[in-house]
Amino acid sequence: MKCPNCEGNDDRVVDSRPSDDGTTIRRRRECLLCGSRFTTYEKVENIPLMVIKKDGSRQPFDRQKLLIGIMKSCEKRPVTTQQIEELIDQVERVAGNALKREISTSEIGELVLKQLRRIDEVAYIRFASVYRAFGDIRSFFKEISSLLQNDAGEGGPDPGSEEILDQVWEEPQA
């Protein structure tokens, strides 16, 4: 640390203690060149997580925005507020662990979908329909078929349920 008196770079820490709120470390230093004493403060650098949007623009991560989107997809579903909060916490943890401190909207969407699929399949489909911008009923069908195939492999829904969907989806005969 550069001495404010003589601008020397050689000092020693005389005293070090945390602040009352525990967010800062106060250090009392002594310059070994001129003997001057000075105080420095050390705190964690909080670099905001940035979201890279589809158009390439960047904006700070907004937990509230994500919460609103997930709550809409979970409306009238047996998903608790705590489950939603934990889902968002997990997204923030994964995103925050990235060294680059930037995450794309597509990465956020995939993280949310992965968790929603585990929590509630209807909420998953609702979120996917907006996130993946389903343009027609076929998009819904493909996503539901994908869910059914994965669930059947995990002891999920009755394997015959996919056949029923196939029958419903058949093109009308002329």
More confident residue, 144 or 85: 85
CA distance 89 to 70: 13
pLDDT at 172: 46
Concatenate the DSSP letters of all residues of 41-73 into one string: EEE---PPPEEE-TTS-EEE--HHHHHHHHHHH
Q: For the purposes of burial, counting CB atoms within 10 Å of the CB of 127, is it exposed (0-12), middle (13-18) or buried (19 or more)?
A: buried
User: Which residue type, as a one-letter code, is found at position 143?
Assistant: E
Position 3 pLDDT exceeds 90: yes
Radius of gyration of the chain (CA): 27
Weakest-pLDDT range from 14-23, 115-124, 138-147 = 138-147
For range 9-27, the mean pLDDT: 91
Q: What percent of the chain has a predicted confidence (pLDDT) above 90?
A: 48
CA distance 61 to 139: 29
pLDDT at 60: 92
Per the CB < 8 A criterion, the answer to whether 142 and 132 are in contact is: no
For the beta carbon of residue 17, count every other beta carbon within 10 angstroms: 10
Please provide the average confidence, as pLDDT, over all residues in the chain. 83
